[in-house]
Amino acid sequence: MSAEQQLKIAGPAGSLEALWYPEPDPAAAMVLCHPHPQMGGSMYDGVLDLLQAAARSERVSCLRFNFRGAGYSEGRHDGQAEWQDVLAAYDSLPRSEPRMVAGYSFGGAMAVRAASELEQLQGLVLVAPALAMLDQVTWPECPVLIMVGDQDPWISVEQLQDKVEGRADIQVVSGADHFFQTGGREVTRLTADFIGAEKSRWS
């Protein structure tokens, strides 16, 4: 496992604090988008640990970053424009490898908003995405995996199905709430399986 590398990414509201975890023989690269910064979310979030563990088990390098105004990232929290930070993070990934994006809660909503603008996006992974924050959802052409807990008090399977309209694979994690203190292993397994299936499609 390679050591993490601290980065600064040029973002639309100033530089973005980031951590890069390169794999020695990478199959792909993935951006990880954290939950709401005004509710304690940052690139060090535990659900991102689950996503990263799955990614790295499939030899996928990972980029974590802080949205504008979070941690040492410049700018101020906006609540809507952060999807542009996702664009900047994605553009910093190596173009020689397949590229993916994953997001949790607020980060999931911003990942969805950005996804249709991302060139050559190969996969989108969402954990309890706060899609209600988006006035309109435009799904990318790539495969999409969504995971939600059956005990989540804010995001229901029915709400997601209405927004998804058959454009994503929705997986319900039994016993998990919005924070996934229970069901974390299932998130990692589902994500690794999704990435593994996509890898076979690229090769």
Residues 130-177 have pLDDT tens digits of: 999 998 899 999 999 999 999 999 999 998 999 998 899 999 999 999
- Residue 16: pLDDT over 60: yes
Complete edge-to-edge strand list for the sheet that includes strand 60-65: 5-11, 14-21, 60-65, 28-33, 99-104, 121-127, 144-149, 169-173
14 and 68 Cβ atoms separated by less than 8 Å: yes
The C-alpha atoms of residue 175 and residue 165 are separated, in whole angstroms, by 25
**Stretch 76-99: mean pLDDT:** 96
CATH class name, domain 5-198: alpha beta
- Residue 1: pLDDT over 90: no
- Residue 84: pLDDT over 90: yes
pLDDT in tens, 44-68: 999 999 999 999 999 999 999 999 9
pTM: 0.97
The C-alpha atoms of residue 195 and residue 149 are separated, in whole angstroms, by 20
85 and 12 Cβ atoms separated by less than 8 Å: yes
**Stretch 78-100: mean pLDDT:** 96
- Residue 2: pLDDT over 70: no
Using alpha carbons, select from 133, 147, 155, 134 the residue that is nearest to residue 47: 147
